[in-house]
Structures are given as C-alpha cells and as structure tokens.
Amino acid sequence: MGGKWSSMDPMQIEVPELKTLLERDPYLAPYEKEIRKRYAIFKDYVEKIEVAEKDFDQFSLAYKHFGVHINPDNSVTALEWAPGARELFLTGDFNGWDRTKTPYKKLDYGKWELKLEPNLDGSSPIQHLSEVKVIVRNNNGELLERLSPWASYVTQPPNRSEGTTFKQRLWHPTDDKIYKFKYPKPKRPKSLRIYECHVGIATQELRVGTYLEFAKNIIPRIVKQGYNSIQLMAVMEHAYYASFGYQVTSFFATSSRYGTPEELKELIDEAHKHGLVVLLDIVHSHASKNTLDGLNEFDGTDSCFFHSGFRGEHPLWGSRLFNYAEFEVVRFLLSNLRWYAEEFAFDGFRFDGVTSMLYHSRGMGEGFSGHYDEYYGLNVDVEGVVYLMMANHMLHKLYPEMITIAEDVSGMPAICRPVAEGGVGFDYRLGMALPDKWIKLLKECKDEDWNMGDICWTLSNRRWMEKTVAYSESHDQALVGDKTIAFWLMDKEMYTHMSELSPPNNLVSRGIALHNLITLITHGLGGEAYLNFIGNEFGHPEWLDFPRAGNGDSYHYARRQWNLVDDPILKYKYMNNWDREINLLEEKYGWLHANPGYVSWKHEDDKVIVFDRAGLVFVFNFHPTKSFPDYAIGVNEPGVYQILLSSDDAQFGGENRIDTSIKHFSKPEPFANRPHRLYAYVPCRTAIILNRES
C-alpha cells in the first residue's frame, strides 16, 4: 500500500477531524504522524478505487458480475480472478463433466471470462441447482478442481460415505420462489441488547436446526426476553461444523446446513417484523485452508487471495490470511459485505478476529499492557488496519443505520472513532476482558475473597466515547473445555437440585444469586451495549460440543434444552425472569446509552458496590453471609426513592427478604462523595435498583 502521499511529510496530510480525536485523548499526540500516515494510505486506496472503477459503490457490488450467473435472457456469464492460472475451464452437469470442453477467455489483470448462449429452445444451458466446478490448469499443467470463490450456494453430500467436500450448485430459482421482504428494517436502537445465537444448535432435538424453525420458535423467545438485536453465528459456509463457523470455505454462500438462502431471508424478515436488528458474525480475518471447496490455492498458487509463505498462514488457527493490500482481495471482501447487506438485509456486522488483522503477531503472545507504543509500532499490520477503515467507511456511507462491532482484545485506541478522525470507524468493540475476569474469579477465588475494587475497575476500564459491548459470557465460555458461569457456580448440583421439589440446596441458591448479580452488574456498569449467548439467560447447563469424531458425532451437547426453562417446576426460570426484567427495565430507562456509571462506593469488607447511571442507583451486596438492615447509600438528588428491581424477589430465586413497596427518604447528609444519603436493607448476595420518584 501507499501512493501519492508516501513521500510527503505526514504532518502535511489532512485528516478532517483529527483535532477532535487529539483533544479527547492528548496522549495520542506523540503518535499523530502515524495516525496521519494510516489515514493517507486509506485515502490513497479509496482514490485508487474511484479512479480505476469510477464508482466506489459499483466496485463493492462485484458479486453481480463475478462468479457464474444466469442472465435474464437465459445466457450464462462467468468471471473469475485467478492471476496464477495458466488456463481456466467450467465444467458440470451441463457439459457432461468434460473438464476442458468449456474454456474461459483470459483478460487483463488476472481475470478470466466465459459466455454461454441460451439453448436453441431459449432455455439456459445451466439450470437452477445444477452442479458446476471451476477447473484450473496450473503452471505444472495439472488440472485442479475448484469452487468459484463467489459461489452463492454449496451443499455437502447427504451421506458421509460420499465425503464431506462441498459441491457448488447454481442458485437461480424462478421469480415466484425468490423470497420478497415484507417488513421494513427497524431503526437502529439507542441501546443495543444483543442475543448471540447459532441456528444449528437452537433446536432441542439431536440434529441441526433450520432457519425456518428458528424464525418460528426462537425469535418469539428473544423478543419476549427483551432483546432488540440478534447476532447470527456460523452463517457463512464452513466445511467443519465444529469450527463454530470460523473456518469459512465459501464467503458468499449462506450455510446450507440450516436451509436455503431464501429461508434465511425469511428468518431475517421475521426478525424485522418483531423489531429485531439482525447482525452477522462476519469472518474477514482468515479463511479455511481447504482447496477443493475453499479459497486456498484457487489459482494453483499459494497466494492469490492470501499472502504467500509464512505471512499467509495463521499458526494457531491453521488457516490462511488475506492479502489486504491486493486490489482484487479488497474488491472481494467489500463486495462480501455488500452481498449480505443488499441481498439478505442484514443490519450490521460483528467482525471476528479483528486483533489478528491489526498486528503482524496476530495478537499471539501479546500482553497488551495498554502502552500506546504497542498500537503504533512496527508490529501493527497497517494493511489490515486500512482494510477495516475502508470497510467501515463504505458501510457507514452507504447505510447510515449500519452497526459494526470489532472483536478486539488489544484495546487499540480509536478503533471505535470515525475514520474522519483518524479512527478505524467501528461503532462498538467487544469488552473481552469482562468474561475473562468472571471466569478467572469463579475458577480461582471463593466469592468471599472477591475484590470489589478490581471488579469495578474491570467493568469500568474502557476508552472514553468508544462504545463497548458488555457481556459476562459468550459462545467462547460455552464451548467444551470451559464452562458457562452457571456450570462453574453449580456444576453437578444442577443435575439433582434444580427442581422445586428437591430439598433446598445452598450451592444452587448461591449459584442462582451470584448468576443474577453478575448479569446485572455487567449489564449496568460494563458498557454501552449488552450481549448474551443463546441459553445463558437461563443458566443453560453443561458446555457446547458439536458432533465430531472425538464424541462419536453426537448432538447431545449441540442443542439448547428449552424444556429446562419452560418447565415451571425447575429453577432455571429464576435466572430467565431476572434477565428479562433487566432488559425490560433498560428499555425504559436507557442506561446503556447514558453516560458510564459512576461508582460511588466499593467496600471490601462489606462486599458492597454502589453506582449510579441514567438516574438510577444500583446497589450490590456480594457478601455470602452479611446482611445490612440500614446500609448508607450516597445519592445525588434529594427525594423519595423506590426499589424498581430486587434480586431477592421469589420470582428471581430470592428469599423475599426485601419489601419493595417501602419508600426510602433521602437525608441532606453527604455520603460517598454524594450530597445526600438514604438507608436501605441490603441482604447478602442481593442486588437492588432504586429510582427517585418524580
């Protein structure tokens, strides 16, 4: 990368709103030159695209031309980029699988083109669902079988005995079979409450769930639970089901395991009908190493879409790494975003593996102390940074309501500031330190030894005016090899003491109480959006393990046991009720889009934390045994305070020790850096939210 600005003094490069960024964070001043350089490379690339393609918009709609297409007149056109190939052919059902009968014509810049006229009867020479393959003759004269990188529908053989390699089938249904969207997209929520979900595991049965089942059975649950957004995982086609969708083979094909592309559209439309924003978990950080049904070695070389040699391989993930400096790779990836936005009406993207894209080390072995040298040194992969800047620039320019989220553990400054400021342009970043903290505490500490100040620091430590998605656990913590928070808290006791009919159990009571406290304090203090993984809202037991050779291809752990939360005799309902009430309360009071919470009190011996946000006062007593009949709480405004929510209510698994009808009158006595105080009963392992009556 680098163009007309490469020889200029970086300080002469104009970044439209850089002053705003530097005023917000003066510690960035020593790195101004590097920020300007990155912006110059971004600007140069955008101008390069506009000069070569005339229109940035059209450049990112390349999926309309690349790949194999049946046209309105029933002719077929095909276009591929394979710079290392000696020859290219198309084969399939249509030509009796003659591998060299139908050649492509070589064009400039490594492109290959093919045109097939309609049959004499006017029909298309290639039919809907017909299987095709691209044949590449490499420089050694070998004929290699490949799938088009732009394939929009691929399927695995129905029987494992036939192998697992995907087959490309041309997706061109008749007009009456194409799903037409009926409902408008919902407005972008001020507070984002995300339900992270996986269609395949969303069924209770021992099989892979479908798009239509999810639309019918799961979306109503999500809406009732108070979430306003769903984040769909594992939609981009992946050869290995147990990869959770992160070893992508076909970037433009929605996974056929769950149904057809039209059925996915119906799912998204159903979500929109219920006011849900739909986010796609997009994987542009790496790609599967598969060659027969992936991008790897598409043109017969080890480069093409990827860096060649060591730089093109991720040593930990065993996958290939994109060459973001290559013009056609950028076209491919930006068009991939447009494909899902235009064809499927996705409302946003959660970008996976962003840390890997930002650094040459791929983030491995990096402690990320927070020193700014780590974010502006030679370890930074500027090509990856600039690609992300271009992706966010394009998405926010074309779709003002679009939401983008970065999965970045490193904490790079300005990841969530506009590109015009010299930032990377994301709307949110995932607060990945939060679940790590909770799991570490549950693994290593008794709750009587938890440090209140450390918990508050972890939940509050984020960059000012860079939005964070808070979560206590996501799919990472649910996977086999780890445990969900509920399982860490209750483990084997969940098999014997989750029934209302079983004798009271201290471990289960403790587990439900702490599960509820962890949910609320993360929701209230941890960020500007909240995320929950499917099933964790009711403390789903056990881990998540996809069918694989190591477990006899079992689906036992690759599903969600909805019967547990639906059964009124089981205690899972308590955590589910609590999760729902928190979401409904946030919808009313909007603390996620308010200023960050201010922690006024954290007492190590009492194990009490108090903070206020959005005019509400949140009080937590994490102590296992100490209850406080008249605990002093500092408040900003004088008046009468009412309890809006108490985790001690019976419906949340509590002991009904708190009378929520009691009014709390403030006194003009300073306390905890607040001008007024009130007194409240705060039992052990309980959380309450207080609101001042108007």
Sign, Cα dihedral of 392, 395, 400, 404: negative
What whole-number distance in Å separates Cα of residue 528 and Cα of residue 524? 9
pLDDT at 56: 83
Residue labelled with tokens 């542009």: 284
- Does the pLDDT at position 479 exceed 90? no
Q: Which two tokens stand for residue 641?
A: 């305070």
Section 323-337 average pLDDT: 97
Closest CA to 394 of 62, 23, 8: 62
Q: What is the pLDDT of residues 274-317, one digit of tens each?
A: 999 999 999 999 999 999 999 999 999 999 999 999 999 999 99
What whole-number distance in Å separates Cα of residue 354 and Cα of residue 407? 5
- Does the pLDDT at position 337 exceed 60? yes
Question: What CATH number labels 62-177?
Answer: 2.60.40.10
On whether the CB atoms of residues 258 and 156 are closer than 8 A, the answer is no
| Domain range 192-592, its CATH number among 1.10.3720.10, 3.20.20.105, 2.40.10.10, 3.20.20.80 | 3.20.20.80
Q: What is the pLDDT of residues 189-216, one digit of tens each?
A: 999 999 999 999 999 999 999 999 999 9
Closest CA to 136 of 296, 251, 250, 289: 296
User: What's this model's pTM, rounded to 2 decimal places?
Assistant: 0.97
Amino acid at 47: E
Which pLDDT band holds residue 1 (cuts at 50, 70, 90)? Answer: low
Which pLDDT band holds residue 23 (cuts at 50, 70, 90)? Answer: very high
Q: Which residue is catalytic, options 407, 473, 542, 579? A: 407
Between the two ends of the chain, the Cα-to-Cα distance in Å is 58
pLDDT at 9: 72
CATH class belonging to 596-692: mainly beta
pLDDT at 10: 73
pLDDT at 6: 57
Buried b (16+ CB within 10 A) or exposed e, 400-432: eebbbbbbbbbbbbbbbbbbebbbbbbbbbbbb
On whether the CB atoms of residues 528 and 593 are closer than 8 A, the answer is yes
- Does the pLDDT at position 370 exceed 90? no
Instruction: Extract the runs of DSSP E, i.e. beta strands, from 589-653.
Output: 598-603, 608-613, 616-621, 628-635, 640-646
Length of the chain as a residue count: 694
- Average pLDDT of the residues of the chain: 95
Q: DSSP labels for 645-669?
A: EETTSGGGT------TT-EEE-BS-
- The reply to whether 630 belongs to the active site is no
pLDDT at 304: 96
Q: Is-same-fold flag (62-177; 192-592)?
A: no
Closest CA to 44 of 89, 17, 71, 14: 14
Domain ranges in the chain are: 62-177, 192-592, 596-692
Section 139-165 average pLDDT: 92
If one compares 1 and 518, the residue with the highest pLDDT of the two is 518
Least reliable range by pLDDT among 24-38, 456-470, 541-555:
541-555
Q: What is the pLDDT of residues 611-654, one digit of tens each?
A: 999 999 999 999 999 999 999 999 999 999 999 999 999 999 99
pLDDT at 159: 79
- Does the pLDDT at position 7 exceed 80? no
pLDDT at 4: 58
Q: Which residue is catalytic, options 352, 427, 537, 612? A: 352
pLDDT at 517: 98
- The reply to whether 352 belongs to the active site is yes
Percent of the chain with pLDDT over 90: 91
